[in-house]
Amino acid sequence: MAVFRPDDERLERAADVLETLGAEPVPDPMLSVDATDATPRSDADYVVFTSKTGAELVSEAGWKPGDETVCAIGPATADALREEGYAVDLVPDEFTSSGLVTALESRVDGARVEVARSDHGSAVLLEGLDDAGAYVHETILYRLVRPAESGRSAELAAEGGLEAACFTSSLTVEHFLDAAAERGIREDALEGLAGATVGVIGEPTAETAASHGIDVDVVPEEATFDALAHETVAAIPSRSE
C-alpha cells in the first residue's frame, strides 16, 4: 500500500499506521520541503496556517505573533503550532481550504488576512477569503519539490503489484505520475492504479486524480491521514470480503 508523505517523521508515522491496520506500507516520499525562511507579515488581523511544516518553519525563522487571530486548517496543524509555543484561536469544523473559508467568511470583511503556506496551496482559500471582503496576502514559507529517488510505487503499480495507494494532496498525484513518466511507465502505472484501491484526502485531490484518469475509491469525511488510511484499508476488496 503506497503512501506519499514527506520523508520525515510523517512518513514513518504513516507507515506505522498502515502496519497497525495490517497493511504492508510502500513508503514513497513524493514531497520534499525547500524552505524560503520567510515569516508572515506583521500587520495582519488573521494569520492562516495550512500545514505542520509551515508551523515548524515559522518557528525556526523566529516568527513572533502579535494580536493576530491565528487559524489552523486542521488539528494536526493546530497541534504543531501549539508545540512550537503558538496559541491557536480557530480550527474549522471541516479541515479543508473551503472549511477555512466557511469559518472565516463572516469575520473577515475589511480585515487583513495573511495566508502562510507552501507554493502549491489551493486557490480556493485565497479566492474565498477575497470574495468575503478580506484583504488577502500570501507568504510562501516553502516550496514543495519531488525527491529525485521517488517512484518505487509507480514501478510497483506498473507491474500490477500495488494493492492500494493513499494520496494526501493534488501534488502527490502529479508527482506520482511525473515519476512514472520519467521511467516511461506512465500508462502502465495508471493501469495498475485502476486495479488498486485509491484513497485521497479531500475533493480537490479527488478532482486532480480524476482529471488524470485515476478512479478514486475513498474520500474520507475527515481530512486526516488516519481517516484516509483506515477507510482505504477497509475498502480493499480482499479485506472487506
Report in angstroms the alpha-carbon separations of 136 from 68, 115, 126. 14, 7, 7
pTM for this prediction: 0.72
Q: CB-hemisphere CA count at 13 Å for 158?
A: 18
Q: In sequence order, what DSSP letters do the residues of 127-160 get, joined into one string?
A: HHHHHTT-EEEEEEEEEEE--TT--HHHHHHHTT
What integer pLDDT is reported at residue 85 of this predicted model? Answer: 96
Question: Of 25, 36, 32, which Cα lies nearest the Cα of 2?
Answer: 25
Architecture (CATH level 2) of domain 36-144 = 3-Layer(aba) Sandwich (3.40)
**Beta pairing class for 32-35 and 135-145:** antiparallel
Domain spans, the chain: 2-31+151-235, 36-144
CATH 3.40.50.10090 fits 2-31+151-235, yes or no: yes
Q: Which residues have CB under 8 Å from 135's CB, separation 6+? A: 110, 111, 112, 113
Query: Please, which residues bridge with residue 116 across strands?
Result: 49, 139
Express each pLDDT in 175-233 by its tens digit.
999 999 999 999 999 999 999 999 999 888 999 999 999 999 999 988 889 999 999 99
Fold match, 2-31+151-235 / 36-144: yes
Phi and psi at residue 54, in whole multiples of 5°?
-60, -40
- Give pLDDT tens digits along the chain (241 positions): 999 988 788 889 999 999 999 999 999 999 888 999 999 999 999 999 999 999 999 999 999 999 999 999 999 899 999 999 999 999 999 888 999 999 999 999 999 999 999 998 888 999 999 999 999 999 999 998 999 889 999 999 999 999 999 999 899 999 999 999 999 999 999 999 999 999 999 888 999 999 999 999 999 988 889 999 999 999 998 765 4
